[in-house]
Structure 1
Amino acid sequence: MTSAVTTDKSARPGYGQLLRTPGALGFILPGFAARQPFAMLTVSIVLLVQHTTGSFGSAGIVAAVTGVSMAVFAPQMGKLVDRIGQSRVLVPVVLAHAAAVGVLTTLALLGSPLWALALAAIPAGATVPQVGPMVRSRWAAKLEGSPLLSTAAAFESVTDEFTFVVGPVLATFLCTAIHPSAGLITEATLTIVGGLLFAAQRGTQPKPVPRAANGEKHAPALSFPGLRVLIVAFIGIGAVFGGMLVSLAAFSEEIGNPGANGLLYGIFAAGNMIAGIAMGAIAWKIGPRRRLMLGYIGLTATASVLWAADSAILLGALGLVVGLCIAPALITGYTMIEQLVPAASRTEAFAWLTGAVAFGQAGAVTLAGRLADAHGSSYGFLVPMAATALALLTLLVLRGKLAPKAPSRIVNSSTPASSAAPKAVRNTVNERGMGHRVPVTVD
């Protein structure tokens, strides 16, 4: 499939058109169920371990080990998916994850020591099924070169954010109203049911690319410098999620209204969802690299003043703006993978970005928690400020690495790029992903 797809320039691609893509609903619905556990796992672990040990510190350690383990193993899972296919990887992974979560739950209920819980958290995190990257890979395969690809990226971001709104609420209700282990039991059940149903949709999964397909040596996703730059950016985004989660809770405790935490985080998440929906409805006239830079500048600017908020109203307003700024950076980063990484390595690339968010979140939860405990919530908000500032500096210095490759070099990794193609043609890149080829300035 070529990178140029003829489309009606007068028609703005929207969510309705996206959902009418043949076969899309078949993987969207089970994919949504299968990614719920991703949002439920951390909260369920914290609530169960805190209940059995009486320590939020111990609960945080076990949750952080789970997050780091997932961040380390997610790219390896993505790489394996690219080699042998989604279904062949997903079926054993969901079964292994359910078993690992069962072991962790049992140890916690038996009152096992912290070191045993931390060890059990490693396989629980390592086997978290990377359904989000798999869904994004299916969209990328079906919509390669189509203007609907940016709409799909926005749709996935909204889905992810909705998951992170519903998942923690559901887990909290189950652990507090039914039983402390009910959250993890439900998480494991959803993993098996949703994961197996998603794996059964074989018709829409990208074809695996063997290591030596068509005489071409497969390049690891991390070998592409643009992905490495995006990983740094996504670690910063993860730090915002983690820092906000802990610092908002600490702030609510300080003002004597613990219940405000849910409202404040909900406002933050709502901002992300609103911006995500808007991102998919706008026909952009600027390239993705510039959109990423502008979004990250806004994110860094707003995250840098969170520490100064001295009222719930002001903090809620700032949290809303932070959420509005996260979506453009997050969605654009995922969209750029099509231009920066060959199809044969895209699931691995998406998994690297998902793992980067998890790693940033795990680190921020730990650091912000320590700062908030020792000095107050204002110091906890310094973590997202510092993380986004460092990531923005990296983006500014290495922005050249995010320049899109020529379509012939990136869309089909099994088709050698023509070295004889005229330079002017090879540099003709449509950053907007529209169906007509026009010379544009690569920003």
Structure 2
Amino acid sequence: MSLTAPPAPAPRITYGAVLGSPYVARLLGGTLVGRLPNGMAPVAIVLWVTSSGGSIAFGGLLSALYGLSSALAQPVKGRLMDRHGQTAVHLPAAVLNSALLVSLPLAGPYGGPGLATAIVVAAGLTTPALEAGLRALWPSVLPDHRLRHAALALDTGTQGLLYIAGPLLVAALASAYNPSVALAVTAGLGLTGTAVVAIAPPSRLWRPTPSTQSHATTAHRLASPGLLLLFVSLAGVGFAIGAMNVWAVAMARQHEQELLSGILPAAFSTGSFLGGLLYGRRRWRGTATDRLIGGGTFFLAGWLPLVALPGPYAAIAAVAVPGVFLTVVVACVYVTTDSLTPAGRTSEAYAWLILSIGAGQSVGTALAGRLAEQPLTTAALPAAGAAFALVVLLAARRRLGPTGCLNRRGRHAARPEAGTRRPDPGHPHFQPF
């Protein structure tokens, strides 16, 4: 009989341990502050247009153009970061973005709608790619995969706070002062947060793992079937979120409660935040692909009660459920993306991921807006987007696993499931969980 004592269980990972790790609090906090303009600028732009005598329709158009141009530029900035590092891309983008937002109020007296449109589009194109940059930093900042698992969940979950705090801050500033002040504060927060991240040593010194492949081969690998299907599925997730925002406005009008248009998205974001906290506190069995499909299934199930056309209070509780599982889906997508992406292209791949969600969100918003007078159809659109995402994930399942991608030498090879690579301590993109 062996007298060898069983191995001691690994110590429990806490968020205090994650945030206490070097640079984690700074990078996470700086990224959240730097990305506050994502939740503030669209609202501030609409308020500025209407306070200047413009129509809500024109304000909504400018707001949509800001979000769309920001999403479309993400892959370009991701590619630049993979080539030149993060600081060289983040800081110039933040300076230009802030300068353009501050100058927008001058467009009314001196340039009219044409100049305002050009400034808004340029500001969107120059938004710093902080989200993609932070995801690329986690492996080098947190070598312990358990801490990295918790950090990724915390990072993903706290994104919902941007769309709760941002609009509320803009509304308070516009009410106490005017929308021009709200735009100036938006610009200042974006520049400050970006600077906090960009001058931090992990961001300043970060460089991607150099690829041993030719440029042509690497470009082909980035467009692998597994990644393409993963990004297509995320468009469905974004579609659900965009449709939900319009459905919330329709609910507010139907029940004559204007606050519902903000409370419902806030409930969804709160669910996402809580889901991130719960997901990151424990280790989960199964592969990242299994968790991704499981999260997608519950994400779809969470939208189905809306088809019953619930009342305001029931609707608030209902939308929190898909929010909880959104964090699971997005966190597992980042892990899977990392496992399918060739060396030296991770920031660009993360940027395409963000673009996919943003593009789907724009389509969902536009379609739901066209169908807003049909309550049942509008309520069913988020579930339709989630169902599309799940179907694509199920179709892509084998391509997201051990034989669904190429190894680092460009050959098909058996390997652990997505998110469970063999240990390679020297690899800055190693994701073992």
TM-score (norm 2): 0.86
Q: Deviations over 1:97-156 (max 9, x none)?
A: 12222343322466823x543333221111111111111111033345723322121011
| Aligned equivalent of 1:160 | 159
1:92 aligned partner, one-letter code: P
**8 Å contact 1:248–1:377 — kept in the other structure?**
no
CA distance in 2, matches of 1:14, 1:191: 29
- Cα 1:431/1:200, change in 2 over 3 Å: closer
Per-residue CA distance 1:199-238 (angstroms, 9 max, x = gap): 111345563349x865754724742333222222222222
Preserved CA contact (<8 Å) 2:101 2:123: yes
Structure 2 CA distance, aligned partners of 1:180 and 1:48?
5
State the Cα distance separating 1:378 from its structure 2 match.
3.9
- Residues 87 and 202 of structure 1 are in contact (CA less than 8 Å); yes or no, is this contact kept in structure 2? no
Letter in 2 for 1:326: L
- The Cα offsets for residues 230-267 of structure 1, whole Å up to 9 and x where unpaired, read as 22222222222222222212211221111233333322
CA distance in 2, matches of 1:28, 1:224: 30
Q: Which residue of 2 aligns with 1:440?
A: none
The answer on whether the counterparts of 2:44 and 2:183 sit within 8 Å (CA) in structure 1 is yes
C-alpha distance in 2 between matches for 1:260 and 1:159: 22
Query: Aligned residue for 1:318?
Result: 318
Q: Which amino acid aligns with 2:380?
A: L
Q: CA deviation at 1:392?
A: 1.9
Considering only aligned residues, what root-mean-square deviation do their CA atoms show, in Å?
3.0
Q: 1:189 Cα deviation (Å)?
A: 1.0
Q: Which residue pairs with 2:181 in the alignment?
A: 182
Partner of 1:73: 73
Q: Give 1:432 deviation, angstroms.
A: 5.3
Q: Structure 1 pair 259/351, CA: closer, same or farther in 2 (3 Å)?
A: same
Name the counterpart of 1:439.
none
Matches within 5 A, 1:363-442: 363-372=363-372, 375-404=373-402, 409=407, 416=409, 426-429=414-417, 431=419
In structure 2, the partner of 1:257 is 257
Matches within 5 A, 1:135-214: 135-143=134-142, 146-205=145-204, 207-209=206-208
Q: Distance in 2 between matches of 1:334 and 1:404?
A: 16
CA distance in 1, matches of 2:167, 2:357: 17
Q: For the Cα contact (< 8 Å) 1:299–1:322, is it kept in 2?
A: yes
Counting aligned pairs with the same residue, the percent is: 27
Q: 8 Å contact 1:52–1:111 — kept in the other structure? A: no
Is 2:108 the partner of 1:120?
Answer: no
CA deviation vs aligned residue, 1:9-43 (integer Å, no higher than 9, x gap): 53233322222333323323322221111221222
Letter in 2 for 1:153: L
Alignment correspondent of 1:268: 268
CA distance 1:418–1:341, change in 2 (3 Å):
closer
- Structure 1, unaligned stretches of length 5 or more? 1-6, 411-415, 437-443
SS in 1 for 2:371: helix
Which structure 2 residue ranges, 5 or more long, are not aligned?
A: 1-6, 425-433
For residues 316-355 of structure 1, what are the structure 2 equivalents within 5 Å?
316-355=316-355
Match of 1:413 in 2: none
Deviation at 1:381, TM superposition (A): 2.9
Contact 2:287 2:417 in 1 (8 A): no
Q: Is the contact between residue 271 and residue 323 of structure 2 (CA under 8 Å) also seen in structure 1?
A: yes
Q: Pick closer, same or farther for the CA change 1:108–1:237 going to 2, 3 Å.
A: farther
The reply on whether 1:134 has 2:122 as its aligned counterpart is: no
Task: Classify 1:222/1:338 alpha carbon distance in 2 versus 1 (closer, same or farther; 3 Å).
Answer: closer
Q: Distance in 1 between matches of 2:384 and 2:325?
A: 16
CA distance in 2, matches of 1:171, 1:8: 51
Contact 1:407 1:429 in 2 (8 A): no
State the SS of the aligned residue for 2:283. Answer: coil
Aligned partner of 1:107: which letter?
A
Residue 428 (structure 1) shift:
4.5
What amino acid sits opposite 2:415 in the alignment? N
Q: 1:284 to 1:206 in 2, by over 3 A?
A: farther
Aligned residue number for residue 441 of structure 1: none
CA distance in structure 1 between the partners assigned to 2:374 and 2:48 by the alignment: 25
What is the TM-score with the length of structure 1 in the denominator? Answer: 0.85
- Show the 5 A alignment for 1:239-254: 239-254=239-254
Change (3 A) 1:137 1:405: farther
Tell me the amino acid that sits aligned with residue 311 of structure 1: G
Give yes or no for the alignment of 1:308 onto 2:296: no
Alpha-carbon contact 2:400-2:418 (below 8 Å) kept: no
Shift, 1:68, TM fit: 1.6
CA distance in 1, matches of 2:323, 2:402: 27
